[in-house]
Amino acid sequence: MPVFVVVFDLGTPMQLASIVFGAIWPVLINTAEGVRGIDPLRLDVAATVRMRPAERIVLLYLPAALPRIFAGLRLSLSLSLILMVFSELLPGTADGIGFSLTDAQTRSDLLTVWAVMVLLGALGHLLNTALLAVERLALGRHRAAHRT
């Protein structure tokens, strides 16, 4: 966080940069692991039929890595929510859920503290449910193929 404060100064650009930087790593690592886990026989077949690089990405790498990509997205979703609140805890921010939480804490307003915590829980649940729905749509055919 201190690096982002120095580079971007306090404010929305710093908050966005820290959230994106923290949330991108689970997606990148899971994507790399998904691509690395492709069956070598499939890679040999792709080389034999002389697939172009764009075709390999769309027809081979992306379908194989998509389950891992969604796993990384789910991790990143919760991590970005935590980083959002954390970035709003810094001095110099005057709005946001994290600011409301610390402001209510300093005023000993327990009702607001609990309301903010319930809001964060509901927001996390709602976002996770939406991502699961998108995952079911995107991986429906993939999961059906693995059941048989």
pLDDT tens sequence across 31-60? 999 999 998 898 888 889 999 989 998 889
CA distance 24 to 26: 6
Cβ atoms 140, 117 nearer than 8 A: no
pLDDT tens sequence across 63-84? 889 999 999 999 999 999 998 8
Q: Confidence band (pLDDT; 50, 70, 90) for 148?
A: very low
Q: What percent of the chain shows pLDDT beyond 90? A: 44
Cβ atoms 113, 104 nearer than 8 A: yes
pLDDT attached to residue 143: 59
| Cβ-based neighbour number of residue 61 at 10 Å | 18
Structure tokens at 70: 């969604």
pLDDT tens sequence across 117-130? 999 999 999 999 99
| Cβ-based neighbour number of residue 108 at 10 Å | 8
CA Rg value for the chain: 21
Entry pTM: 0.78
pLDDT attached to residue 142: 63
17: helix, coil or strand? helix
